[in-house]
Chain A
Amino acid sequence: MGSAAKAVDVWKSYGTGEAAVTALAGVSVEFDRGRFTAIMGPSGSGKSTLMHCLAGLDTIDSGDVWIGGTKVNGLRDKGLTELRRSRVGFIFQQFNLLPTLTAEENITLPSAIGGRKVDRAWFDAVIDAVGLRDRLTHRPTQLSGGQQQRVACARALVARPEVVFADEPTGNLDSRSGAEVLGFLQRSARDFDQTVVMVTHDPNAASYADRVIFLADGQIVRELHHPTAAAVLDTMKVLDGDDRLVVA
């Protein structure tokens, strides 16, 4: 079983000259198929940048990024679009849905854009998993924040992407709605063998993952497997104690 996504010695900096900020400083990491990984770290640690680079949303300065067997760096816009369309799914912190489309249309949008048919059985399985069966004809404005985010989850999964990237998916939700979304992401890894990579700064959210990667100053500094919220919190405190970090 190979990795669903990996980064090999990835460097990335913003700005030039004295204003240059190094966001990623030689990050190498692999994400195994069917596992739910959380990336943690304080603000400015480079966790979002890492995810954006993995997903082909941002370019890198050096190193390699792979999604499955495809090298992402080096792809031009068309290739990147194709990658995003069929191999990668996204869940954002907020504004995940198109207001003009119903929940169902939002979920099938990536397939529709790519002109592919939706696998109805899979669609039904996903819908039941997120518990949105009776909300499919609703518009986003008629849904609660948690429901909207679950629609976004379903959309990310329904195209059976190689990796689902979630950027602070619970950042705007109350704890109960957040728990529903995280539970779904956890189940999709376990039950549907879906690779999920999530960026978060919430220890509790991270505890749903199979593995937690800690980033600081653009480098991976610690890793936890099968974490509990307490273990994550402890690790963060230790890293904080290092005096190298300021927790946001």
Chain B
Amino acid sequence: MLTATLKSVLARKLRLVLSGLAVVLGVMFVSGSFVLTDTLDRSFKDLFATAYSEVDVEVAVKSKVGQDDPEAARAGTLTAADVAAVESVDGVRTAVGDVVGSARPIGENGKVLTTSGAPRLGIAWRDEGQEEIRDGRGPQRDDEVVISAYLAETGGFQVGEQLSVLTLEPKRTFTVTGIFGYPGDRDSLGGELTTAFTEATAQQLLLGTPGAYSGITVRADEGVSQTVLRDRVQGELGDAYQVKTGEQLAAESADEIGEGLAFFNYVLLGFAGIALFVGVFIILNTFSIIVAQRTRELALLRAMGASRRQMITSVVVEAVVIGLIASVVGLGAGIGVGALLATLFSTFGGGSLHLAGIAVPPSAIISSFAVGLVVTVVAALLPAVRASRIPPVAALREASTPDRPLTRLTVAGGVLTLAGGGLLGFGFADGTLWLIMSGLLVSFVGVALLTPLISRPVVSLIGRLLSWSVPGTLGRRNSARNPRRTAITAAALMVGISLITGVSVVLTSATTSMTKVADTQIKADLIISGESSANGQVGGTFAADRMDRITGTPGVESAFGWYNDGVLVNGERRFATAVTDVPAMERIFGLSAAGGTITDLEDGEIGVDAVSATALNLRQGSTATVQTTKGEQRTYTVAFVLAESRVVDDMLFLPESAVDGFALPQISSAFIKADQGADVADVRKRLEPLFADNPEVSVQDLSSYVRQQAAQLDTVLMMIQVLLALAILIAVLGVVNTLALSVVERTRELGLLRAIGMRRAQVMRMITVESVVISVFGALLGIVVGTALGVAAVRALEDMGITDIGIPWAQLGGYLLISAGIGVVAAILPAIRAARLNVLQAIAHDSA
């Protein structure tokens, strides 16, 4: 029996390849994710080990609000006296004050250089530091800088050229006197852009305080361990300072990146899971078709005395063989893809991140085989059971088993869809991810079971659009003749399309809501803001003195700006805002008070909006303790509580006097209302020169500001589309698979058609129509299900400010068109195969 099974697998290589390919792609995704994240993880560990290789102990000021900003340790600064104190500690060989802060170099096109996540740093140059001059010399004057080789390469800068840099202060221009690299011939440690100033300049520009240091790097005497030295330094300085060993810092940084990578890995695995879920549909369908086609062969085995168990075993063994082969191939391909992506990441993404060697973590191997085998076998179980139910007498019957009624299937589908919808409902209600995920899976299976019933009317409707010719009619009828097969094939496509549609609906609704709020509630004509918000990096703020010049500009009726920072309110981390002109905000944002009056806040007063009032349990007149990043903790009294508003959501207002305690006492955005009848474009032209020295800040009208915010959502959508593309690719394989198997099954029919005069091109058109009908049906299902999912999610997200449902009609139409195109592409190979059939052999073909 086993031999017979294996021979049957080998005899039908096409089947092996087609059903295996879906698993190969899924497994490839899984193992690729593991290899990629493992490689990056080890690369980053290397990176931090190098970065801290010449640090035994490092001293910094402890953050008062419990979070360190990696780009600029602005929690507080150290003084030369602190450095001297550390230097005097027994066992310290050297103690050097560091100056590190944010410095954004401006490229030759006048725009600020960006990285994909790595910081843009400014440091004070140390001849004895780990940086090694490659060309030129270190900075000696206040208008000289040296730059990292990676920055020189990115911006195309050379020694002797001018370089402008944004720091805490607006644009300043320096002469590049040298280019430096890092040990091991690295251009950068991990893709960061570094500019090194003289110490005095760095202290002024990066820390805003002459004579200040952001940290102290300590090297130990021979024979003094890092931990011993750390404890001694800590003892000398006291608890206000954070003292850590180099090893500790390297491990902490690596862990932080590792957590990010682990999350990234989960995201990739989630999408791999979707792809594999789609793969289950494909394999199930393939095995079902094959069992149906082999009915007579299997019945013969039964007639000869094979038991039901043996029939099941035979199909499952076939699945195991396919699963094993597919896992091996998928693992191999995944290692390749992971290595390729890691290389791409190090070349384009993270700058010059030095890749640790590509290795295959055990997790990749284990998960590949587990996933490949489980998916294949689970998908084959149902067809296996069906094979075992074939009665021996079927061997004698003319093939073509009558279509079984769909009642049981439909009832099961209905129940599952409802159950899935319920799970989703609960999941959305309290944001439980696993409930949402299992709800999605269950409802997909439920809808898939319902599709055979839906397929009859819908397929015939879609088909009618395409059946203006005889081949078209035949193709349409072919796609309707086996509702289960068409349905599962279409359902596989549905999964990917519905997820994309769901996400599009949510994101479009977010944009719609945003636009609506902007149109109806915000009376600002112009908005001044930095591009920092776009990539989450520091930069794009401006000094408070610009606010006066904005309000003084002709044509400006009123304006306000705000400062932002994280604070601790009653020990809880919150986001705080200080507004330069609260009444102006009240007018421009259309706010009203639920308690107290909205006025500029006096020292010791805070304002809260409805959401944060509830969250922090505050009322007008109640008190709260607030700890800012740099200031002292103090008690504030609530001066006003805002009524619910769609513009202001979960905000806490501090008086302008509190910004001295902010990490960066600069304005991040300003909202401007123009005079009645003033030409907004003119006002904008008058405001722009105020920021000529700050290319990170732009003056925009409201609609382009909203568009810019919305554009960020487009990036999210694009990434999700790319990640779901694999699920769709697998579904396309499913269409190819179904068509190829149908062509084999209908060989004699095709022969007959050719014999009575059907041209090759007509045969191909017939197959193509069938394919397009299946694909468009799948896309329609996906769009309907996805829209329902999206609308449900939007309803659930109402609290998060997504209040208006937006349906991206153009995108949905695009998905339909794409799926029609997918149908055409999927039909190519089966159609060629069908057209090439030898007429004589086809007619003589044994269909059983």
A residues contacting B by CB (< 8 A) are 52, 57-58, 77-78, 81-82, 84-86, 89-90, 92, 95-101, 109-110, 112-115, 141, 155
Contacts of A100 in B (CB 8 A): 474, 477-478, 480-481
A81 pairs with B843, CB closer than 8 A: no
Separation of A114 and B758 alpha carbons in the complex (Å): 8
- CB of B673 within 8 A of chain A? no
B756 pairs with A110, CB closer than 8 A: yes
Separation of A161 and B188 alpha carbons in the complex (Å): 82
Write the chain A residue with the least CB distance to B471: A113
A113 pairs with B470, CB closer than 8 A: yes
The answer to whether A90 and B755 touch (CB under 8 A), given A100-B478, A113-B470, is yes
Contacts of B677 in A (CB 8 A): none
Instruction: Count B-side interface residues using an 8 Å CB cutoff.
Output: 24
Separation of A113 and B762 alpha carbons in the complex (Å): 8
**Residues of chain B in range 743-764 having any CB-CB distance to chain A below 8 Å:** 748-749, 752-760, 762
Contacts of A82 in B (CB 8 A): 757
**Residues of chain B in range 702-759 having any CB-CB distance to chain A below 8 Å:** 748-749, 752-759
Pick from B480, B753, B759, B762: contact of A98, CB under 8 Å: B753
List 14 A-B pairs, Cβ < 8 Å: A52-B840, A81-B754, A81-B759, A82-B757, A85-B757, A89-B756, A90-B752, A92-B752, A95-B847, A98-B474, A98-B749, A99-B400, A113-B759, A114-B757
The answer to whether A109 and B756 touch (CB under 8 A), given A95-B843, A98-B749, is yes
B residues contacting A by CB (< 8 A) are 400, 470-471, 474, 477-478, 480-481, 748-749, 752-760, 762, 839-840, 843, 847
Separation of A52 and B844 alpha carbons in the complex (Å): 12
Extra contacts, 12 of them, besides A81-B759, A84-B755 (Cβ < 8 A), are A84-B754, A85-B756, A85-B757, A85-B758, A90-B755, A90-B756, A92-B755, A95-B749, A95-B847, A100-B478, A113-B762, A114-B757
Contacts of B400 in A (CB 8 A): 99, 141
Separation of A96 and B762 alpha carbons in the complex (Å): 19
Contacts of B760 in A (CB 8 A): 77, 81
Pick from B474, B752, B754, B757: contact of A95, CB under 8 Å: B752
Separation of A115 and B469 alpha carbons in the complex (Å): 9
Pick from B470, B471, B474, B843: contact of A92, CB under 8 Å: B843
A101 pairs with B477, CB closer than 8 A: yes
The distance from the CB of A25 to the nearest CB of chain B, in whole angstroms, is 20
Pick from A57, A78, A99, A155: contact of B840, CB under 8 Å: A57
A110 pairs with B757, CB closer than 8 A: yes
Separation of A52 and B840 alpha carbons in the complex (Å): 8
Contacts of A113 in B (CB 8 A): 470-471, 753, 756-759, 762
B481 pairs with A86, CB closer than 8 A: no
**Most chain-B CB neighbours within 10 Å: which of A77, A85, A86, A100?**
A100
A109 pairs with B470, CB closer than 8 A: yes
Separation of A164 and B93 alpha carbons in the complex (Å): 107
Contacts of A114 in B (CB 8 A): 757
A81 pairs with B470, CB closer than 8 A: no
Write the chain A residue with the least CB distance to B847: A95
**Most chain-B CB neighbours within 10 Å: which of A52, A95, A96?**
A95
Closest 7 A/B residue pairs (Cβ)? A85-B757, A100-B477, A112-B470, A84-B757, A110-B756, A81-B759, A95-B748
Separation of A96 and B753 alpha carbons in the complex (Å): 10
Contacts of B481 in A (CB 8 A): 99-100
Contacts of B759 in A (CB 8 A): 78, 81, 113
